[in-house]
Amino acid sequence: MKGIALTIFFSVALISCKNTTEKTESEASVIAPATDLDDEEVVTNKELAINPVEHASMVLNWGETTIYVDPVGGKDLFSKFREPDLVLITDIHRDHMDIPTLESIVVAKTKLIAPKAVFDKLPKNLQSKSKVMSNGEKISDFDIAFEAIPMYNLRPEALKFHEKGRGNGYVLEKNGERIYISSDTEDIPEMRNLKNIDIAFVCMNLPYTMTVEKAAEAVLAFKPKTVYPYHYRGTEGLSDVSKFKSLVEAGDPNIKVIQLDWYPKK
């Protein structure tokens, strides 16, 4: 299950940060290997394809719509995918927003959805293709409903990383199936109170977001059907996603935890 081309298909039934002091998440060293990788799973419906790219970046092919989430790292990382119909951007930090990458992948048909803090940093050619969403706002496009979910820190020592209201997580809904993308957050009430989530992408990395224990507690609170740990590189390397999986499955065996390779060897 190596590399950006990894694709997992699901049936309809299953369906950051810049440290304002010295380091950013994208600069954090990776000193631990990814572990407990599940085998590739293919289900015949092929309605949704999940493609991990790296860290916070992914490509979702949902029916005929191709969605890039937080594309960074250059055009070559996305060369194997269809051109994006939509780009979702969650925050201003460079592991989520990279203007040279955006300018290299955005084509005439592409629309962008972003919080205002991101929009304000975009060049005018990208602003003209962008829809601003604030926390709590809902819109629909491409036959998908989008809701902007708050993402922010709770621990006093981490408040400098993500202030409430600046960035967005997102819930995407199509044909009754709901996908949650956390972006950079701790186990905030808005996450714990989510309902009827089929697939969740949940971050866990210190010092920027939350511990694996807090991530597990949040997941056990809102009970998605399937959860993917992502965005788990911090200053000390990769978080213990195997422990996260054990905690979730011990707390609720009905929640499936799937570990993809978000940090392929280069």
Tell the residue number behind the tokens 């939350």, with chain if given.
210
Q: Which tops the pLDDT comparison, 106 or 235?
A: 106
Q: What is the pLDDT of residue 158?
A: 66
Checking 179-183 for CB contacts under 8 A at 24+ apart, the result is 179/15, 179/60, 180/149, 180/224, 181/69, 181/88, 181/90, 182/149, 182/151, 182/231, 183/16, 183/56, 183/70, 183/90, 183/91, 183/96, 183/151, 183/231
Q: What is the pLDDT of residue 46?
A: 64
pLDDT bin (cut points 50, 70, 90) of residue 38 is very low
Q: What is the pLDDT of residue 244?
A: 96
Token couple for 101: 């990458």
Provide CB contacts within 8 A for 165, sequence distance 6+: 134, 135, 150, 152
Token couple for 199: 């697939």
Q: Does 251 score more than 60 pLDDT?
A: yes
Contact 60, 52 (CB under 8 A): no
What mean pLDDT value characterizes the chain? 84
SS3 (DSSP) at 149: strand
Q: Which of 55, 74, 20, 57 has the alpha carbon at shortest distance from 237?
A: 55
Which DSSP symbol is given to 128? T
What is the C-alpha to C-alpha distance for residues 144 and 177, in angstroms, rounded to an integer? 10
Q: What is the pLDDT of residue 266?
A: 66
In the chain, the amino acid numbered 76 is D
Average pLDDT for 226-252: 92
- What pTM, to 2 d.p., does this model score? 0.83
What distance lies between CA 58 and its chain's CA centroid? 7
Q: What is the DSSP string of 225-266?
A: SEEEE---EETTEE--HHHHHHHHHHH-TTSEE----SS---
Contact 257, 244 (CB under 8 A): yes
pLDDT bin (cut points 50, 70, 90) of residue 136 is very high
Contact 231, 55 (CB under 8 A): yes
Which DSSP symbol is given to 17? -
| Sequence ranges of the domains in the chain | 8-13+40-257
What distance lies between CA 186 and its chain's CA centroid? 14
C-alpha torsion 216→220→225→228, nearest 10: -10
Token couple for 211: 């511990």
Q: Does 33 score more than 70 pLDDT?
A: no
Q: What is the pLDDT of residue 95?
A: 85
Q: Is 11 left (phi over 0), alpha (psi -120 to 50) or beta?
A: beta
Q: Does 221 score more than 90 pLDDT?
A: yes
Q: What is the pLDDT of residue 2?
A: 39
Average pLDDT for 137-144: 96
- In CATH, the architecture of 8-13+40-257 is 4-Layer Sandwich (3.60)
Q: What is the pLDDT of residue 15?
A: 37
Q: What is the pLDDT of residue 67?
A: 97
Q: Does 4 score more than 50 pLDDT?
A: no
Q: Which of 5-9, 139-143, 187-191 has the lowest mean pLDDT?
A: 5-9
Q: What is the pLDDT of residue 235?
A: 79
